[in-house]
Amino acid sequence: MNGIKSAKSALISVFSKDGLEPIVKKLNALGVTIYSTGGTEKFIKDLGIGVVPVEDVTSYPSILGGRVKTLHPKVFGGILNRQDNEGDIAEIEKFEIPQIDIVIVDLYPFEKTVAGGASEQDIIEKIDIGGISLIRAAAKNFKDVTCVASVDDYVEFLEVITKGNGNTSLEQRKRFATKAFNVSSHYDSAIFNYFNQDQDIPALKVSENNAQALRYGENPHQKGYFYGDLEAIFDKLHGKELSYNNLLDVDAAVNLMGEFKNDAPTFAILKHNNACGVATRNTIKEAYIDALAGDPVSAFGGILIANKEIDKETAEEVHKLFCEVVIAPSYSGEALEILKGKKNRIILVQKDIELPKSNIRTCLNGVLVQDKDLKTDKKEDLTQVTNNKPSENELEDLLFASKICKHTKSNTIVLAKNKQLCASGTGQTSRVDALRQAIEKANSFEFDLNGAAMASDAFFPFPDCVEIADKAGITTVIQPGGSIKDQLSIDYCNENNLAMVFTGTRHFKH
């Protein structure tokens, strides 16, 4: 009535034997009959513990090179029978099916095999059939059976059977069943996603088992979690734990700096997912100083990222600023000691790994999925639409501004000069407002906009933006083009000696 079950038998068939020995010894000490197969059977025998081969139960050998071992009614009947069902009891007695109370199984390492670049044949052979079937059967029948489907659960299971002297509660078995279905669903998702690389079947399968509870979400009254493997992309050298907002800003910083990965020393400072300072210079120290000059007010509490090693001289400058996170591909020993001077400052080493190529976000009662904007505007993409042509230096500034613009919230305008972000207008409801915000901000930090470049994430529906830019001293413009009134903007530029190029690519970022 209370759901307590005493285990008399266990089926153990695992790929990895790590951590299995203490469980086998405990089950043996409890008088539990152990059934097993292949390598696991040998492992148990080598411990000097008695084990019944599954072949003795099924009267059938392992066949097809081990592809079929446990797929037999005497195995699955022993797992799936309902111990409170008279019909089931009669049938297992009639067919001499042994009762199985515990199933300990893991799965072939499919994801690891794929990640290791194995051949398709090797990958296919790592699609588990018997194991996944045993897991599903045992988890389904949790009222009577305990299912342990991962080495990660060995410690908990050992504690349960030790404290319970071989007994388990219904609540405990249901918990293990829940974990087992998490294992099976994740495994099937990984297999589907591998096959669907070439098929493009419109189905979304997202499964992440690495969960990190955050202090809170965007605000203290919201719960927050990160699902993923941060250690795959960063080595965390110092500081407090990353928060929900930190992670959003770090993501924005990494994606922005990806545009400058192979460029000369470049430093960026971000706040609320937008760049407030970016500069490319001959040294990383110069890049930092000029990035900070872009908006020293917003830089307070910001996220800093560099595309080159941070040296002692740069660290000394950075240390003067209160900042949440510093990211770089490496640090000199002296720089690291300086930056560690602030206890809570998070210091990350970014590893060179490939990032996902799609974006996923919740929307209404579903999700939106899209390809990432992986298009970076290059010189060969540009169409000269005005009589006045930009110089080589001006072209460099236009492309520099375009890279930043692509990673700034729409509607946006970015102003740059000499490979330095002068200001940007971010997240405005009109492009004119974005431009006015950018000009006002640049002026407030005493930037000389004469000869500056302007980038827009989308086309100008009217010539008002180029006119406002012209009056502020801006002389070159980069934009996608595509408005039915493009000619009006082109005409204004021609009449006032501005140079404008079209990219043909819009870079909205909502």
Q: Is 285 a catalytic residue?
A: no
User: What are 392-449's pLDDT values in tens digits?
Assistant: 999 999 999 999 999 999 999 999 999 999 999 999 999 999 999 999 999 999 999 9
Position 130 scores a pLDDT of 87
Q: Say if residues 92 and 100 touch (Cβ distance below 8 Å).
A: no
Position 66 scores a pLDDT of 73
Q: Say if residues 326 and 341 touch (Cβ distance below 8 Å).
A: no
pLDDT above 70 covers a percentage of the chain that reads: 100
Q: Annotated catalytic residue: which of 272, 312, 340, 342?
A: 272
- State the average pLDDT over residues 262-268: 97
* Residue 72 scores a pLDDT above 90: no
Position 14 scores a pLDDT of 92
The count of C-alpha atoms lying within 13 angstroms of the C-alpha of 98, restricted to the half-sphere facing its C-beta, is: 21
**Token digits of residue 348:** 């990350």
Beta strands in 190-301 (DSSP E): 211-213, 225-227, 234-238, 266-271, 274-280
**Token digits of residue 433:** 């407002």
User: What are 178-230's pLDDT values in tens digits?
Assistant: 999 999 999 999 999 999 988 889 888 988 888 899 999 999 999 999 999 99
- State the average pLDDT over residues 482-494: 97
Torsion of CA 297, 298, 303, 306, to 10 degrees: -70
Position 195 scores a pLDDT of 92
Specify the amino acid at residue 360: I
CA distance 392 to 273: 30
CA distance 496 to 468: 12
User: What are 117-166's pLDDT values in tens digits?
Assistant: 899 999 998 998 889 999 999 999 999 999 999 999 999 999 999 999 99
- State the average pLDDT over residues 384-389: 97
User: What are 86-122's pLDDT values in tens digits?
Assistant: 888 898 989 888 999 999 999 989 999 998 889 999 9
Position 1 scores a pLDDT of 45
Q: Annotated catalytic residue: which of 26, 140, 143, 186?
A: 140
- State the average pLDDT over residues 464-469: 97
Instruction: Verify cis geometry, omega within 30 degrees of 0, for the bond prior to 411.
Output: yes
CA distance 416 to 435: 12
Computed on alpha carbons and rounded to an integer, the radius of gyration of the chain in Å comes to 31
Q: Is 140 a catalytic residue?
A: yes
How confident is the prediction for the chain on average, in pLDDT? 94
What global pTM score does this model have? 0.87
Position 115 scores a pLDDT of 86
Strand, coil or helix: what is 52? strand
- State the average pLDDT over residues 309-333: 97
CA distance 180 to 183: 5
